[in-house]
């Protein structure tokens, strides 16, 4: 993949691994809607973060809708804490109101899911295999962070631009909490529909159904709950 090769050229000898994860690695890629998800593990801080920003901004994406590039140190990847530090995040979201995002050296609780998914299903495009550079992430940390977003999204159910993302990601959080399985958003939606057909309107931008889905998943993932419950949404 051109982007991965270009990342290695920019990072140079500090690169430990460039890992493709997300839908392109798991098989759930949807042309025009899915992003390219890359995790870059390096020794020390990136010498020239602006070069990586420029690379993402101008990369040829093919059928992808954008790029999510996370750069982390080898120490953070090997032993992630509850809010691991990301040295650099560059997000390009073509056709979205979000547009282009850059964050440098910040605590990033959302990185937990990225690390866990990359370890489970990632594919090294360059360097060491994911399991060689990424340590295990406690499942409860990932579920707790998912619950944070579910609670936040309950105040945003009228956001039509992001309704599909919220509904599908809620299904993803739900399946992970129940089965400890990472999967694509498309696979998670299919899993949720099989478990509970009443989820369908939430996946089709119905605001009240989305609120019901978010509430259902919050209930299913509450600490100490039997997550195999068949309660209705």
Q: Which of 135, 133, 136, 137 is nearest to 17 (CA)?
A: 133
Rounded to an integer, what distance in angstroms lies between the CA atom of residue 87 and that of residue 48? 11
C-beta of residue 170 within 8 angstroms of C-beta of residue 189: no
What pLDDT does 142 receive?
A: 97
pLDDT band at 158 (very low <50, low <70, confident <90, very high): very high
pLDDT band at 201 (very low <50, low <70, confident <90, very high): very high
Cβ burial 119-147 (10 Å sphere, 16+ → b, else e): bbbbebbbbbebeebbeebeeebbbebbb
pLDDT band at 160 (very low <50, low <70, confident <90, very high): very high
Percentage of the residues of the chain whose pLDDT score is greater than 70: 96
Domains of the chain by range and CATH? Answer: 2-133 (3.30.460), 139-220 (no CATH)
Query: 94-98, 173-177, 222-226: which has the minimum mean pLDDT?
Result: 222-226
Q: For the chain, give the longest Cα–Cα distance.
A: 54
* 65-121 per-position pLDDT tens digit: 899 999 999 999 999 999 999 999 999 988 788 889 999 999 999 999 999 999 999
How many Å from the N-terminal Cα to the C-terminal Cα in the chain?
42
Q: Which of 8, 35, 18 is nearest to 130 (CA)?
A: 18
* 116-152 per-position pLDDT tens digit: 999 999 999 999 999 999 999 999 999 999 999 999 9
Average pLDDT over residues 161-167: 94
> Does residue 233 register a pLDDT over 50?
no
Rounded to an integer, what distance in angstroms lies between the CA atom of residue 220 and that of residue 170? 11
> Does residue 225 register a pLDDT over 70?
no
Rounded to an integer, what distance in angstroms lies between the CA atom of residue 208 and that of residue 210? 5
Q: What is the pTM of this model?
A: 0.88
Rounded to an integer, what distance in angstroms lies between the CA atom of residue 67 and that of residue 51? 15
Residue 227 φ then ψ, to 5°: -75, 0
C-beta of residue 38 within 8 angstroms of C-beta of residue 70: yes
Q: What share of the chain is helix, strand, coil (3-state, %, to 5)?
A: 50, 20, 30
| 3-state SS assignment for residue 54 | helix
Rounded to an integer, what distance in angstroms lies between the CA atom of residue 200 and that of residue 20? 30
Tell me, rounded to whole angstroms, the distance of Cα 51 from its chain centroid: 23
What pLDDT does 192 receive?
A: 97
What pLDDT does 229 receive?
A: 40
The CB-based long-range contact list for 206-209 (8 Å cut-off, 24+ gap) reads: 207/157, 207/158, 207/163, 208/157, 209/233
pLDDT band at 31 (very low <50, low <70, confident <90, very high): confident
């Amino acid at each position: 993949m051109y982007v991965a090769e270009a990342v290695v050229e920019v990072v140079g000898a500090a690169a430990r691994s460039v890992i493709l994860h997300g839908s392109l690695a798991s098989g759930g890629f949807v042309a025009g809607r899915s992003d390219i998800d890359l995790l870059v593990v390096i020794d020390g801080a990136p010498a020239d973060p602006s070069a990586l920003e420029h690379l993402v901004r101008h990369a040829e994406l093919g059928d992808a809708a954008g790029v999510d590039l996370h750069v982390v140190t080898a120490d953070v990847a090997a032993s992630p804490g509850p809010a691991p530090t990301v040295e650099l995040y560059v997000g390009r979201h073509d056709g979205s109101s979000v547009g282009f995002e850059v964050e440098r050296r910040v605590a990033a609780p959302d990185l937990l899911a990225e690390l866990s998914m990359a370890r489970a299903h990632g594919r090294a495009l360059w360097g060491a295999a994911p399991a060689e550079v990424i340590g295990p992430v406690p499942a409860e940390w990932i579920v707790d962070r998912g619950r944070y977003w579910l609670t936040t999204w309950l105040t945003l159910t009228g956001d039509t631009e992001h309704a599909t993302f919220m509904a599908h990601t809620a299904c993803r959080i739900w399946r992970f909490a129940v089965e400890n399985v990472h999967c694509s958003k498309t696979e998670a939606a299919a899993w949720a529909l099989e478990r509970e057909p009443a989820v369908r309107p939430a996946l089709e931008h119905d605001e009240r159904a989305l609120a019901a889905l978010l509430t259902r998943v919050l209930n299913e993932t509450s600490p100490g709950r039997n997550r195999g419950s068949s309660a209705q949404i």
